[in-house]
């Protein structure tokens, strides 16, 4: 079974109290669920891999007990582009009868900041219309992209990135349970690559461990696996003026691997910062221009191709 | 522009829709405070706007015009209309004309349509609305509070009389074959008929049967970059009467695959990018009249450049095949696994899949998946360095 095969799932905390770091948030959440009927809608914000989704899943399990499967709907806004799909799924989900012992039905909407303003406005209505028997947990990387009316309907929790010692301690705990040899330098190297993203760290740990021991050398060998490295490559090729190659690589990422355009731009942004290029601000200006154009344009592929071509002309 | 030059100056100059026009006159003649507003419904280019302006003139009203872009937010509506609806003495005798009312969109502020309906329910001045269609939900609620007058496309025989009259005044001629085609093509839209005639008569190409026959995409793109002058290129562009999306994409594909130097490529793609933005805005706002600016953006691409040849595809064959075959399988694999790992498909294939494949390759992980995924997993594993 996959869920036990992948360490990120195998070692995903099952209870709020097991979550690494985030002690204040966990404390408040545990208070809130003592009286589930009074629980407000929740909005979790914070960077990737710090425990937002895990907290939502733990909370669901603790409040809904054995009904958790039937009474939780998990959606990812990045997959369900249109609000129509969300509305249909939420409607269907809220419609089925039988309120066993559960205080409410729970809808976890991940990457909610990927929704357009229009979709969020519609979501606000859905939240209102179903408030009697549903609670929402919205999860977002960037809270400023969530419209105010939704923010005001939710209790907001800001997750902070996990400090180095906590990441390393967690990784060490896993290597011990998996009986994998790991040295300090190797674990430190993993932390440096993952930048406080615990999910990335654990994935990298597992990949490294598949080579044998977790040493600095093996970490380096596995670190470039993620497709974000391909985005680094696209940036490099574009800046070198190899527009055709850069474009084909980018289209491969988006159309073969299904990377979303907004994810591509997100990774491209961090690639730029990592590159420490001498024309950093010029590059970012060009990216910003086309990021906006994608929002108003009709065909993202055209906009992204034009972006790469313009990057190739920065001197 | 002939279509403006020959916009009728009197109601009697108009053609077609006699009954609808006389109903409007009657409504104006009998208007008093509280009379239900009018909604004129009909296809573009048949005189809805014209008659509103002419009737206002004839009955001595000061017409306050709004179009869909003004009617988007409640505050904007009230800002424009409050002085009109309140103290009328300052402004003479005003009336309100809201054009393209079906263009009011759910975007931005829902208050727009509601604010308008509030005003429609209790009119203190004559209000006339015009729309191309009345099928949207928004129109349903508007329809409840207005009197509807429908306009039909103008019949060909009237178009012919009208057109011949204009040609005579302009001292221009059109071959009988072209005349019929122009009339047929306009489908009862006077404005488009006049525009098309003007482009033919004052066109840069000698007037032939071919000059407004539609050119297919391939010939169009090739002729565009072979043209000897910008006027000729413009003629080609206008003759490519295809879906605007298709037009933009055809230029995009052809430019991408024509082996241009990076400076030229960037310059061209910037123009294509702006055309795409224009099209995106049209789609989002449904303001199709903005389409008239599309060709003028694309014309910036013109230069006599014999490197550019039409191409339907803009990707290499191996990549096209990979998208078609592998892409589909990876997509279904990703959405299956993403769900189990509580990630979006995009995140899974970026930060999950590569690690999973690596572990499988090193024989440290086994997935229990349907056999159909075996092949793609093998293939993707091979690609890992």
Do residue B285 and residue B359 come from a single domain? no
Inter-chain residue contact A297 with B280, CB threshold 8 Å:
yes
* Whether pLDDT at B14 is above 60: yes
CA nearest to B333 within chain A: A257
Which pair of structure tokens corresponds to residue A59? 């909370």
> Which residues in chain A are closer than 8 Å to B334, comparing Cβ atoms?
257-258
Under an 8 A CB cutoff, do B279 and A297 touch? yes
Least trusted range by pLDDT, from A168-172, A230-234, A291-295, B214-218:
B214-218
Radius of gyration of chain B (CA): 28
**pLDDT-derived band at B210, boundaries 50, 70, 90:** very low
Of B110, B316, B330, the CB nearest to A257: B330
pLDDT given for residue A267 in this prediction = 94
Q: Given an 8 Å threshold on Cβ–Cβ distance, is B345 in contact with A263?
A: no
Q: Are residues B294 and B368 in the same domain?
A: no
Residue A70, pLDDT score:
87
In the three-class reduction of DSSP (H, G, I as helix; E, B as strand; rest coil), residue B242 is classed as coil
**Is residue B302 included in any domain, yes or no?**
yes
* B129 is a domain residue: yes
Cβ distance of A209 and B384 shorter than 8 Å: no
Residues B255 and B281 in one domain: yes
Give B325-356 pLDDT, tens digit per residue.
999 999 999 988 998 899 999 999 999 999 99
A&B contacts, CB < 8 Å: 184
Domain edge (last residue) among B314, B339, B357: B314
CATH code for the domain in which residue B129 is found: 3.40.50.300
Is B191 within the bounds of a domain? no
Q: Do B273 and A256 touch (CB under 8 A)?
A: no
Task: Please give the pLDDT value at position B207.
Answer: 44
pLDDT computed for residue B279 by the predictor: 94
Quote the domain boundaries for residue B337. Answer: 318-384
Q: At B224, is the pLDDT very low, low, confident or very high (cuts 50, 70, 90)? A: very high
- The confidence band for A2, taking pLDDT boundaries of 50, 70 and 90, is very low
B75: pLDDT strictly greater than 90: no
| Lookup: tokens for A132 | 């009697």
Residues of B whose CB is below 8 A from A6: 341, 352, 356, 365
For A312, nearest residue in chain B (alpha carbons): B262
The answer on pLDDT for B105 being more than 60 is no
> Do B360 and B310 belong to one domain?
no
Cα–Cα distance between B221 and B305 in angstroms, integer?
11
Q: Is A257 on the interface with B (CB under 8 A)?
A: yes
A229-312 sits in which CATH class? Answer: mainly alpha
Cβ <8 Å between B345 and A79 = yes
Q: Which of B314, B348, B364 is the last residue of a domain?
A: B314
pLDDT at residue B206, rounded to an integer: 40
Give A89-112 pLDDT, tens digit per residue.
Answer: 888 887 776 666 788 899 999 999
Q: What are phi and psi of B318, to 5 degrees?
A: -55, -40
Q: Is residue B9 part of a domain?
A: no
Point out the domain boundary residue: B266, B291, B314.
B314
Q: Are both B213 and B291 inside the same structural domain? A: yes
pLDDT digits (tens, 9 = 90+) for B298-330: 999 999 888 899 998 899 888 999 998 999 999
**pLDDT at residue A66 above 70?**
yes
Contact predicate B102/B115, CB 8 Å: no
**Topology at the third CATH level for domain A164-227:** Helicase, Ruva Protein; domain 3 (1.10.8)
Q: Is residue B257 part of a domain?
A: yes
Q: Hey, what's the torsion of the CAs at B276, B279, B283, B286, to 10 degrees?
A: 160
Assign B205 a pLDDT band (cuts: 50, 70, 90): very low
Mean pLDDT of A23-30: 92
Exposed, middle or buried, A43 (CB in 10 Å: 0-12/13-18/19+)? buried
pLDDT at B204: 45
Confidence of residue A1 (pLDDT cuts 50, 70, 90): very low
CA-atom Rg of chain A in angstroms: 21
3-state SS assignment for residue B96: strand
Task: Using a CB–CB cutoff of 8 Å, tell me whether A57 touches chain B.
Answer: yes
B371 or B281: which leads in pLDDT: B281
B127 lies in the same domain as B104: yes
| pLDDT at B59 exceeding the cut of 80 | yes
Answer yes or no: do B59 and B113 share one domain.
yes
Per-residue pLDDT averaged across A125-149, rounded? 89
Distance CA A106, CA A126 (A): 13
Domain-embedded: residue B235: yes
CB contact under 8 A, B340 and A9: yes
Half-sphere CA count of A3, side-chain side, radius 13 A: 7
Q: Looking at residue B108, what is its pLDDT?
A: 47
B252 and B368 in a single domain? The answer is no
Show residues of chain A in contact with B272, CB under 8 Å.
302, 306
pLDDT band at A315 (very low <50, low <70, confident <90, very high): confident
pLDDT at B298: 95
- Best to test chain B binding among A111, A193, A223, A225 (most B CBs inside 10 Å): A225
Cβ contact, residue pair B262, A310, below 8 Å: no
Q: Per-residue pLDDT for A310 more than 90?
A: yes
In this structure, are B22 and B142 located in the same domain?
yes
Nearest CA of chain B to the CA of A97: how many Å? 25
Quickly list H helices, B170-316. Answer: 176-186, 190-201, 217-226, 230-239, 244-256, 262-285, 294-298
Tens-digit pLDDT profile for residues B173-189: 877 777 888 888 878 88
User: Are the beta carbons of B327 and A258 separated by less than 8 Å?
Assistant: yes
Question: Which chain A residues touch B377 with a CB distance below 8 Å?
Answer: none
**Dihedral over alpha carbons A26, A30, A33, A34 (to 10 degrees):** -170
Is B346–A293 a contact, with Cβ atoms under 8 angstroms apart?
no
Q: Is the pLDDT of residue B289 over 50?
A: yes
| Contact call for residues B240 and A259 (beta carbons, < 8 A) | no
Residue of B nearest to A178 (CA): B364
Partner-chain contact B316 A248, CB within 8 Å: yes
Question: Is B143:B113 a contact under the CB 8 Å cutoff?
Answer: no
Question: For residue A140, is pLDDT > 60?
Answer: yes
Same domain, yes or no, for B28 and B146?
Answer: yes
Residue in B with minimal Cα distance to A305: B269
Give tens-digit pLDDT for A233-274: 999 999 999 999 999 999 999 999 999 999 999 999 999 998
Give the lowest-confidence range in A58-62, A78-82, A280-284, B232-236.
A78-82
What is the structure's pLDDT at B111? 65
Instruction: Provide CB contacts within 8 A for B21, sequence distance 6+.
Output: B11, B14, B51
Identify all chain A residues contacting B72, using CB atoms and an 8 Å cutoff. Answer: none
User: Token pair for residue A283?
Assistant: 């590059």
The pLDDT, as a whole number, for residue A268 is 96
Q: Which stretches of chain B are assigned E, i.e. beta strand?
A: 38-41, 62-66, 94-98, 127-131, 147-150
User: Residue B95's beta-bridge partner residues?
Assistant: B63
Q: Residue B219 is encoded by which pair of tokens?
A: 């010939």
Q: The complex's ipTM?
A: 0.87
The answer to whether the A164-227 and A229-312 domains have the same CATH topology is: no
Confidence of residue B112 (pLDDT cuts 50, 70, 90): low
3-class state of residue A134 by DSSP: strand
Residue A176: pLDDT above 80? yes
- Mean pLDDT score, B10-24: 86
Give the relative orientation of helices A300-311 and A280-296 as an angle to the nearest 10 degrees.
160
Q: Which of A3, A110, A267 sits opposite B340 (nearest CB)?
A: A3
Q: Which 138-197 residues of chain A touch chain B by CB within 8 A?
A: none
| Minimal-distance CA residue of chain B relative to A9 | B341
pLDDT of residue A99: 62
Mutate: best of B105, B281, B344, partner A, most A CBs <10 A:
B344
CATH architecture of A3-158: 3-Layer(aba) Sandwich (3.40)
**For B79-90, what is each residue's pLDDT tens digit?**
777 766 665 555
Q: How many CB atoms lie within 10 A of CB A23?
A: 10
Task: Quote the minimal CA–CA distance from B364 to chain A in Å.
Answer: 6
**pLDDT for residue A3:** 46
The whole-number pLDDT of residue A245 equals 95
Phi–psi pair at A99, nearest 5 degrees: -85, 80
**For B342, which residue in chain A has the nearest alpha carbon?**
A53
Whether B196 contacts B181, CB under 8 Å: no
Q: Please tell me whether residues B221 and B247 are part of one structural domain.
A: yes
For chain A, give every domain's residue range: 3-158, 164-227, 229-312
Q: CB–CB of A303 and B276 under 8 A?
A: yes
CA closest to A262 among chain B residues = B346
Tens of pLDDT along B232-255?
A: 899 889 888 888 999 999 999 999
CB-CB neighbors (< 8 A) of B384 in chain A: 225
**B44 and B138 housed in the same domain:** yes
Residue B385 has pLDDT above 90, yes or no: no
Q: Compute the mean pLDDT over every residue in chain A, rounded to the nearest whole number.
A: 91
Domains: count for chain B: 3
Provide the pLDDT confidence category of residue B190 given band limits of 50, 70 and 90.
confident
Q: What is the pLDDT of residue A159?
A: 94
pLDDT in tens, B131-187: 888 777 777 878 888 899 999 888 888 888 888 888 888 888 877 777 888 888 878
Q: What's the whole-number average pLDDT of chain B?
A: 83
Distance CA A81, CA A87 (A): 11
């Amino acid at each position: 079974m996959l869920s036990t095969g992948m360490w990120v799932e195998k070692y995903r905390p099952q209870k709020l109290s097991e979550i690494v770091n985030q002690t204040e948030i966990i404390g408040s959440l545990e208070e809130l669920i003592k009286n589930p009927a009074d629980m407000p809608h929740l909005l979790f914000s914070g960077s990737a891999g710090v425990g937002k989704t895990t907290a939502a899943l733990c909370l669901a399990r603790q409040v809904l007990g054995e009904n958790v499967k039937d009474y939780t709907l998990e959606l990812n806004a990045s997959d369900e582009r249109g609000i129509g799909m969300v509305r249909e799924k939420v409607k269907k989900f809220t419609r089925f009868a039988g309120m066993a012992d559960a205080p409410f039905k729970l809808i976890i909407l991940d990457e909610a900041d990927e929704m357009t303003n229009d979709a969020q406005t519609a979501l606000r209505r859905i939240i209102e219309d179903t408030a009697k028997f549903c609670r929402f947990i919205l999860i977002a990387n960037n809270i400023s992209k969530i419209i105010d009316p939704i923010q005001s309907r939710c209790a907001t929790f800001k997750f902070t990135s996990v400090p180095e010692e906590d990441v390393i301690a967690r990784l060490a705990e896993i290597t011990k349970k998996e009986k994998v040899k790991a040295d300090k330098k190797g674990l430190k190297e993993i932390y440096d690559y993952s930048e406080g993203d615990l999910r990335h760290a654990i994935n990298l740990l597992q990949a490294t461990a598949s080579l044998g021991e977790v040493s600095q050398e093996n970490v380096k060998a596995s670190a470039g696996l993620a497709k974000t490295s391909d985005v680094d490559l696209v940036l490099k090729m574009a800046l070198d003026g190899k527009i055709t190659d850069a474009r084909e690589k980018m289209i491969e990422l988006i159309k073969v691997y299904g990377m979303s355009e907004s994810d591509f731009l997100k990774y491209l942004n961090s690639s730029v910062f990592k590159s420490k290029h001498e024309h950093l601000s010029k590059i970012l200006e060009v990216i910003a221009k086309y990021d906006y154009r994608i929002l108003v344009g009709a065909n993202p592929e055209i906009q992204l191709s034009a972006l790469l071509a313009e990057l190739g002309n920065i001197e | 522009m002939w279509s403006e030059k020959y916009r009728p100056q009197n109601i009697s100059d108009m053609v077609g829709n006699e009954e609808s026009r006389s109903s409007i006159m009657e409504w104006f003649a009998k208007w008093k405070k509280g009379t239900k507003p009018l909604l004129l419904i009909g296809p573009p280019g048949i005189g809805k706007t014209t008659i509103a302006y002419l009737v206002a003139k004839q009955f001595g009203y000061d017409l306050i015009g709004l179009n869909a872009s003004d009617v988007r937010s409640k505050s904007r509506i009230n800002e424009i209309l409050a002085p009109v609806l309140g103290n009328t003495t300052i402004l003479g005798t005003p009336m309100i004309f809201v054009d393209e009312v079906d263009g009011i969109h759910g975007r931005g502020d829902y208050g727009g349509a509601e604010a308008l309906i509030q005003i429609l329910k209790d009119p203190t001045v004559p209000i006339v609305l015009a729309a191309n269609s009345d099928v949207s939900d928004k129109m349903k609620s508007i329809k409840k509070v207005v009197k509807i007058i429908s306009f039909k496309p103008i019949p060909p025989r009237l178009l012919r009389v009208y057109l011949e009259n204009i040609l005579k005044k302009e001292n221009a001629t059109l071959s009988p074959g072209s005349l019929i085609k122009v009339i047929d093509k306009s489908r009862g839209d006077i404005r488009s008929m006049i525009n098309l005639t003007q482009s033919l008569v004052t066109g840069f190409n000698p007037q032939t049967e071919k000059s407004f026959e539609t050119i297919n995409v391939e010939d169009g793109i090739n002729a565009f970059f072979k043209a000897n002058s910008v006027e000729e290129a413009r003629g080609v562009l206008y003759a490519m009467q295809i879906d605007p999306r298709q037009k933009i994409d055809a230029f995009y594909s052809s430019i991408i695959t024509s082996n241009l130097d990076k400076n030229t490529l960037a310059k061209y793609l910037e123009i294509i990018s702006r055309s795409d933005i224009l099209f995106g805005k049209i789609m989002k706002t449904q303001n199709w009249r903005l389409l008239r600016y599309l060709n003028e953006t694309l014309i910036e691409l013109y230069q006599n450049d014999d490197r550019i040849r039409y191409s339907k595809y803009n990707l290499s064959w191996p990549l096209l095949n990979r998208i078609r075959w592998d892409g589909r399988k990876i997509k279904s694999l990703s959405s299956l696994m993403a769900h189990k790992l509580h990630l979006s498909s995009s995140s899974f294939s970026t930060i999950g899949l590569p690690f999973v494949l690596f572990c499988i390759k090193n024989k440290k992980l086994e997935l229990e998946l349907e056999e159909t995924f075996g092949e793609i997993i093998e293939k993707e594993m091979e690609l890992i360095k």
